[in-house]
Amino acid sequence: MSLNPRLQDWHGRTAWLIGASTGIGRATASALHTAGARVIVSARQAPLLNEFVALHAGSHALPLDVMDLPALQAAAAEVGTPDLCVYCAGYYRPMSATGFDLADARRHLDINYVGALNLLDALLPQLLMSGRGHLSLVSSVAGYRGLPKALAYGPGKAALTHLAEALYLDLHPRGIGVSVIHPGFVTTPMTAQNDFRMPAEISAAQAARSMLAGWAAGEFEIHFPKRFTRFMKALRLLPDSVYFNLVSRANR
């Protein structure tokens, strides 16, 4: 069942990706450009955005920091009402309770969640006024349940998923699409920090293809690779005692 208008033909459509300098964001921007979209890329690292624009004719760079609300508002005014806006800004450092760092935990929350709230403040008025467009938030399977070394990363991603669900209920009746992305392990500069085996790891290009397929199918939740994410979704159904025992043994 399609929960959103299907985004299949990208020709003549505008896609704005926030957090597109590397990883999933950059790969998805490239895939959308190849599909015919007019792509606008935003992130803090202007040189990387300019490099993207040089390789993708017709694309446009809008450097910004998601914690800079005036910059986001100015960018939203320049973009107008995009057919698709993807919030893929992200920050990750492994953290456990024995190495708790308050400043770093707050940085996770700021970039992974508060930045999305800043985007809503800048973009929602335009979406509501036009009664069209699609907002997609890139969360993570780390937001499904608590995981080792995800003390700082997981909570913000869980909040982002909850935000997407609430937004869907409010915006779908108004003709505005909302989706949430739950990647498993994807080869990016962020996951390169992990010192453990990452099951079913895929490339950023594969992740981008899965996202475009999900938007084309009108899905609300887009998760991949399914051989891994279906297992992670099943863990949410386990009783706490079973779940904690299983994850603790796997982490030894």
**Which residues are part of the catalytic machinery?**
153
Write down the number of H helices and E strands in the chain. 9, 9
Is the C-alpha dihedral spanning 187, 60, 223, 96 positive or negative? positive
Tokens 């690292």 -> residue: 45
Cα–Cα distance, 51 to 107 (Å, whole number): 27
**Smallest Cα–Cα separation from 212: which of 84, 59, 53?**
84
97's tokens = 């309770």
Give residues with Cβ within 8 angstroms of 245, minimum separation 6: none
Token pair of 201, please? 């790891």
